[in-house]
Structure 1
Amino acid sequence: MKKLLAVCIIGVFLFFPYHRTRLGAASATTKVVITYAVFSEREGGLFVARDQGFFRKHGLDVQLVYVSTASVALSSLARGDSHLNTGSTSGAILGAMAGGLDLVFVAGLVNKLTGAFVVAPEIKTPMDLKGKTIGVTSIGGGNWVFTMLALEHWGLDLKRDGITIRVIGNEAVRAQAIASGIVDGAHIATYAFSTALKRQGFRILADLVELGIPYQGTTVFARRSLVNQSPEVVEKVLTALVEAIAFIQDPANKAPVMRSLAKGLYLPRVEDAAEGYEIMKTLYERRIYPNVEGIQNTIRLLGATNEKIRGLKAEDVVDDRIVKKLEQKGLFQPGPK
């Protein structure tokens, strides 16, 4: 487990180019920077689209850049260092929207809660979380939202039930915190990590996919100004992602998909991606519409303590014009396009 986490931590130190990348520049391909702040199988569509040449097929030279938090991703979008971001709806993203940054959700790649809620061996039911400490990446971040929605689903209340939320760090750090007993449990998005913990005797309290909670998981968002100025580029990106999803869901492509997943997550061995691959096949839908109900559910959760976020309406932060165009072109239908 420690070796796996160390490899992961070393592998994610990627950097933005020193210059801003401009869309539409005259060249054989259009350079596009896509950031992602979640390190899990949910980003498998990005990895496959890159490795299998779906971006290149549509004339895109895409650079995928991992950033540690949504705040970093938002800063890069605001500065023009990146063009699109994939991530779950979080306090940082909704807060930026409420604060006036012209962000808009253009697609929904994973429209549900995902990942595993991993806990110490002695915790056998959700009620056993009373009086315990749960680790998160940050307060209000996507991982915190996952955690709070799960606790709410189980009828647990932080104050009433004496549950402590402790800011620990990213995915690898949270997994290590569980293993070392620093926290009693945490939401772990990467199934390779939760599987490794399970082998050590830790308990999977729930696979959040099975809870059926409305949520906008992995979404594609960008500045509205960019979508309006370069809709053809956004359309090409989304087309490549839909083609990658179709590739992932074809069992004949298991081997190359596992290689992409292992490479993207910096796993030491391709075999370590096996369980994540099986889960990833079920995460995506080809109809990549943003989940308005899921976005509204997060606005409700965060709006309880944030007046500006409470004033947002999900339908106002969604722009599904390009997704509708893809559906009209028949891209969501089974079979090669």
Structure 2
Amino acid sequence: MMRRLVVTMLFALSVFGPSMCFAQPAKNLIPAYQAISTPDFGYLPTYVARAKGCFTDERLDLKVIVMNSRVSVPALIANEVHFGVAGPAITATLRGAPLKAIYFIYNTSTFQFTVRPEIRTADDLKGKTIAISSPGATNDMATRLILAKLGLDPVRDVKFIAIGDAKARMIAMDQGQVAAAANNPDIAAELVRKGFRILMHSGDVFPVPFSGTAVNEKLIRENPDLIKRWLRAHLKAMLLIRQRPDEAAQIAARDLKLNLDIAREATTQVLQFMYPNDPGGFTEKGMKIFLQQTAPRLGIDPDKVAISQVADVSFLREAQRELGIKCRDGYGC
């Protein structure tokens, strides 16, 4: 019986590769807490990893908590959660917080700047209200860069309102409370079906590592094993999304309560932004662009900020090697 089980597992590995998750019995699991800013495609691998038993396979009992970055960053600093959103965490790091980014899903920002049906041109946005997730967040930065590219002054031409949850931003747009917002592909696809328009993709102006995760340096020192378990689960999920996108779309449709066709469309879109040569990693160029956009807002010279000050890829590289993933072209490969 044991020999048959081993043969079956080896056959599965040969067919599916390292992304195959063999969910172990839920005994003696290690509790872990991850804060996300909003339940959407920005965290697709987390949902896929949970659905396919990748966390259980790594003996993790992962609790996913939705919270605004104004709450999640202090929680990460206070070690109340193990994993938090990287964008605002890097900003906090530049201010002196003991945080490090360890993982990114996408090699560019994935926002689609969506406007109400009556907005035909950028000029129609003058005097209108635009929704952002929270001040200083990557959503805010991308929105301001998009507006500038469209020829608008983000300070004088429009007003902003912070609406943290992506679904809440969609409702605000639907009800006419706001004229536009930068949305992730699943939300944008839903709005387009209602007659809304996409004016620009944020990747055109904000090609930075995106949908990342950060940890406290205390966790790096005291529990590196937890970090590697979390990373291996996410890497397996990323490989599974690439190998079986329709299955990933079905998981997204169920867990994010989306129409299946919209989930399939969004999955196809985000796959092109997952770095195949370095899943979970980022390029030096991309991170430098992020720092160039972030540091000056804090009165810091970005050229004086080393990437190692804000990110630690050592655990990602270990997890990749353990799964047989060969990193190419990424930072620290």
Q: Which residue of 233, 252, 255 maps to 1:261?
A: 252
Distance in structure 1 (CA, Å) of the matches to 2:94 and 2:293: 15
Displacement of 1:308: 5.5
* One-letter amino acid of the counterpart of residue 296, structure 1: K
Which whole-Å CA distance do the structure 1 matches of 2:81 and 2:237 have between them? 21
| Superposition TM-score, scaled by structure 1 size | 0.78
Query: Which whole-Å CA distance do the structure 1 matches of 2:42 and 2:155 have between them?
Result: 32
How far apart are 1:249 and its partner, in Å?
A: 0.9
Q: Equivalent of 2:229, from 219, 236, 254?
A: 236
Q: How does 1:192-211 map to 2 (within 5 A)?
A: 192-209=186-203, 211=204
Q: 1:292 to 1:223 in 2, by over 3 A?
A: farther
2:270 is aligned, of 266, 273, 280, to 280
Structure-1 separation of matches of 2:164 and 2:65 = 19
Q: Deviations over 1:49-107 (max 9, x none)?
A: 1110111212222222222x11221232233221112x3513xx234213332100112
**Unaligned stretches of 5+ residues in structure 2:** 1-26, 328-333
Q: Cα RMSD (Å) of the superposition?
A: 2.7
Give the direction of change, closer, same or farther, for the CA distance of 1:84–1:113 in structure 2 (3 Å limit). same
Contact 1:121 1:201 in 2 (8 A): yes
How far the C-alpha of 1:111 sits from its partner, in A, is 2.1
Q: CA deviation digits over 1:107-151, x for unaligned, max 9?
A: 222121103111122433445444433221222123212212322
**Structure-2 residue corresponding to 1:3:** none
Aligned to 1:136: 132
Aligned equivalents of 2:50, 2:172: Cα separation in 1: 32
Task: Name the amino acid aligned to 1:279.
Answer: Q
Paired with 2:301 and 2:166, the residues of 1 have a C-alpha distance of 26
Partners of 1:113 and 1:153 lie apart in 2 by 15
Question: How many percent identity over aligned positions?
Answer: 22
The separation in 1 between residues aligned to 2:152 and 2:290, in whole angstroms, is 17
Task: Quote how far apart the aligned CAs of 1:314 are.
Answer: 3.3
State the partner residue of 1:33: 33
Amino acid of the structure 1 residue aligned with 2:241: I
Q: Is the 8 A contact 2:37 2:165 kept in 1?
A: no
Q: Is the 8 A contact 1:118 1:204 kept in 2?
A: yes
Out of 286, 295, 301, the position equivalent to 1:303 is: 295
TM-score scaled by length of structure 2:
0.79
Unmatched runs of 5 consecutive residues or more in structure 1: 1-26
Instruction: Tell whether the 8 Å contact from 2:29 to 2:59 is kept in structure 1 after alignment.
Output: yes
Alpha-carbon distance in structure 2 between the residues aligned to 1:304 and 1:131: 27
**8 Å Cα contact 1:35/1:64 also seen in 2:** yes
State the distance in 1 between where 2:168 and 2:64 align: 22
